Amino acid sequence: MKHTLLYIVFLLSPALLNAQTDTLAAKDSLMAMMEHQLQEYKLQNIMLQEQLSKSGESQRLDSLRKVDRQHRIDSLRQFTKGSAVVVDGDTLFVLYAQTGGSTSSMRADRAREVIVALGHSLKPAPDSIYIAEGEHSTDIMGGDKVILTLADIDGMWNNTTREKLAEKYVAVISTKVDKMHSQYGLKKKLMGVFWMLLLIVAQWFLFKLTVRLFAWLRRMIVGKWLKQLKPLKLKDYEFLNIHQQGRILIFLTRVGQLLTILFQLAISVPLLFSVFPETKAVTYRLIGYVWNPLWGIVVSIVHYIPHLIQIVVVFYAFRYLVRFMRYMAGEIENGKLKINGFYPEWAMPTFFILRVLAYTFMVVMIWPLLPYSNSSIFKGISVFLGVIVSFSSSSVIGNMVSGIVMTYMRPFRIGDFIRFEDNEGEVIEKTVLVTRIRTLKNDIITIPNSSILQAKTFNYTLSAENYGVIVHTQFTMGYDINWRTCERLLIEAALATPHILHKPKPFVLAHALDDSYLTYEINAYTRYSQDLLTIYSDLHKNVVDKFNEAGIEVMAPHIYARRDGIRRQAPDYDDKR
């Protein structure tokens, strides 16, 4: 306004000057004053023009700045993901700008929390979502809470103004809150409580029905079915009688009852959590606890089927191979199949060794095909078992190796009469680890195979079959008796002994020449190695009888030095005492 008045005065100043010149020409002082005012008006006009030009330039520069800023935001939008406001899986909008010291993610989180709180309220207030305008920002309100504060930069990120952007966001938020009220509102809560009570009552009735059903099943087993059962036998062995079968059936019914109840709970508990939208995630988690392991097992079984087929093929191939080896060993043992240099008694031990080797090779082939065979736990257990076997079974392994070696050395067989150290007896059992013999006194002695392999063993039975066992005993007689007489009497005594062979004929050896007597040794053959104790006893008796019959006193000759006139110490032959 001030500038306008000055401009008007400036336009009127020439007319006033002319009037003053005509009427007051004489007044020079007034003229000078008017010229000075004119100069001032001109200077103010120039300043006004400069200000107007500067104002237009500023507006033009601001417009250019806005265009440049929008261009830079458009280029940044290609690389900036922004922070989405996601509620119940729906993306409402995306925030890019940082305002008021809060990042876009912090603004999105706060907006989501307020929207969720509004949506989960039991009874929403009408027009609870509205816009509150400010001088430099726009607030989207939810009741008395600020959902989101928008600035001009938010409008630029979305190619609009903040006011229009706020109206768009209010519509989106209002739609989402109304939708959430239909899912989480009071009506939905009341329906959820109703369905929850209905499910609890239904599960209670199912529980009672299951208990009564399995109780009736147990009564049927005890009252009727047990009477129709028969004992389970394997040849002459009864491994399950009727009472044991009944106990097993009762146990199975209890297990079935428990599994049925667990199956019902596996269905009803997830359904119970699914009636409320807030707990649906728990429902999926509970179902996953049951379904995921089962599905994993099914998938693992399906993927394992090729390995399982390989295991079955390998198992049956080795099984029929072992059967073939058993058949061949039986043929060799029975003498139907003869192999030069291979004794029949080697057949079964060799079969046992080959069977162990075959099964070991089978395990080596199957081991990589087993589930989790490459896991560290599986390997650790294998190493641990190997260490235990290595440190705790050195003597066992030694006895096993000795048993195998003895099998092919053939020092004795079952039924042979042997002597091991101070023990004599019949071999009644040979195993991989020990050998058992029964002495003539019916004592059972167990000897480790490693001990037998390291000591001398006498096999009387083998000698008796091939050559005949020599029964021998020593007898002393003084030098006053003719050695030929002693030899004849000793041979007669041997031939009179039962189980002594006449061919080869018994023979006598002069074993030693002592100071007062001569030591004779009678040797006789027999093939009855099991009766050696009886044969020795009969031989000793016959020696005494034969010498007594010949009138020869069986006594050491040392008595001659102090027996002048004493009667000969030989019983009368007619005396049978």
With a cut of 70, say whether residue 8 has pLDDT above it: no
With a cut of 70, say whether residue 12 has pLDDT above it: no
Using one digit for the tens of pLDDT, what is the confidence trace for 465-478? 777 888 889 988 88
CB 576 within 8 A of CB 554: no
Mean pLDDT of the chain: 76
The reported pLDDT for the residue numbered 209 is: 93
C-beta neighbour count of 362 within 10 angstroms: 18
Cα separations in angstroms, 477 against 130, 483, 544: 143, 9, 12
CB 118 within 8 A of CB 124: yes
Long-range contacts of the stretch 3-11 (C-beta < 8 A, 24+): 3/44, 3/48, 6/41, 6/44, 6/45, 6/48, 7/45, 9/41, 10/38, 10/41, 10/42, 10/45
Phi-psi group of 252: left, alpha or beta (phi > 0 → left; psi -120 to 50 → alpha; rest → beta): alpha
DSSP bridge partners of 86: 91
Q: What is the mean pLDDT of residues 424-451?
A: 83
- What is the reported pTM? 0.46
With a cut of 90, say whether residue 352 has pLDDT above it: no
How would residue 30 be classed by pLDDT, with cut points 50, 70 and 90? low
How would residue 11 be classed by pLDDT, with cut points 50, 70 and 90? very low
C-beta neighbour count of 150 within 10 angstroms: 24
